[in-house]
Amino acid sequence: MGAGPLPLVLGAALLCAPAGLCLRVLSGQKVCYGDFKHPCYKIAYFQDVSRRVGFPEARQACKIDGGALLSLESEVEQKLIENMLQNLTKSGSGISDGDFWIGLWRSGEGQATSNACPDLYQWADGSTSPFRNWYTDEPSCGSEACVVMYHQPTAIPGLGGLYLYQWNDDRCNMKHNYICKYGPDYVLEKELGDRAEPDYEVFPPVTSGSPSDASKPEDHYHVVVTETGLIPNLIYVVIPTIPLLLLILVAFGTCCFQMLHKRGARRNCFKDPSPLSSECLAESLNSNL
């Protein structure tokens, strides 16, 4: 299974491709759209707030997983991610409030409060895309140098409307969910089918994508399952316990049988208290102890 840093999070959802192809989608899985020229994405959402991570950890987790923290290079790509998040939220997967780190940050502490600050933000994957989708009055700069995509569906709307999908700079050590982006997937999805644990691990590094990369994401999209979700995980817990349960059942049965047997033997002893009967001897020894 693709390295532990992207634990699993959500229940199952069902996505249906335009071609009528339905595939199981779990969060914490890599999702690919279009042909092999398009990037793939993995949404890491943690219901357990204590498992959310700071920007450097999120960046590292994506890197270890063979990708990079999400760059959003166009309106189309922004909308695609919004759509993925909407679908996940609607699917009853348990996704709710919780912002997502994206791969936008700045290092220039010196100019943190200058007018130049907004221009200092750069993409972690090397993309030079100028696309931005800031919430009203963002970026606020100062001590905030790492960027999240808002995801607060239940929050009361602010001046800029709902806190959904627009960007905000935050302190890099704050704990959030994150989204990774991967280079085009060279693995044939047909070969993979529904396998829960494909044995490929390494993906080509994300190239600073050409703007066309995400231009037509809805074309014959497919989903590659790279990590199992909560439900398959439960299965891994339940299945190994079955032999244990059987063992307990057998032990209990044996115990009951012996008790019944002993009781039967004792009854026989009362009927026929012959000292020669070894069973009666044992019984009388037992009862004397």
Ligand X SMILES: *[C@@H]1O[C@H](CO)[C@@H](O)[C@H](O)[C@H]1NC(C)=O
Binding footprint of ligand X on the chain (CB under 6 A): 15-16, 80, 83-84, 87
User: Which is closer to ligand X, CB of 57 or CB of 82?
Assistant: 82
User: Which is closer to ligand X, CB of 141 or CB of 179?
Assistant: 179
Closest by CA to 231, choosing from 82, 94, 81, 51, is 94
Q: How far is CA 269 from CA 159, 232, 265, 288, in A?
A: 90, 56, 6, 15
User: Which is closer to ligand X, CB of 94 or CB of 126?
Assistant: 94
Q: Smallest distance, Å, CB 17 to ligand X?
A: 7
Q: Smallest distance, Å, CB 36 to ligand X?
A: 18
Give the chain's length.
289
Q: Smallest distance, Å, CB 252 to ligand X?
A: 49
Half-sphere exposure of 283 (CA within 13 A, CB side): 21
User: Which is closer to ligand X, CB of 87 or CB of 268?
Assistant: 87
Q: Smallest distance, Å, CB 84 to ligand X?
A: 4
User: Which is closer to ligand X, CB of 13 or CB of 146?
Assistant: 13
User: Which is closer to ligand X, CB of 117 or CB of 223?
Assistant: 223
Q: Smallest distance, Å, CB 83 to ligand X?
A: 4
Separation of alpha carbons 286 and 145, rounded Å: 78
Q: How far is CA 86 from CA 103, 144, 164, 194, in A?
A: 20, 27, 10, 23
How many CB atoms are located within 10 Å of the residue 204 CB?
A: 12
Q: Smallest distance, Å, CB 185 to ligand X?
A: 15
User: Which is closer to ligand X, CB of 32 or CB of 147?
Assistant: 32
Task: Answer whether 47's CB lies under 8 Å from 195's CB.
Answer: no
Q: Smallest distance, Å, CB 44 to ligand X?
A: 16
- Token pair listed for 165: 């999908």
Pairing of strands 146-151, 100-105: antiparallel
Separation of alpha carbons 276 and 286, rounded Å: 16
Task: Answer whether 29's CB lies under 8 Å from 195's CB.
Answer: no
Please give the radius of gyration of the chain, using alpha carbons only, rounded to the nearest integer. Answer: 29
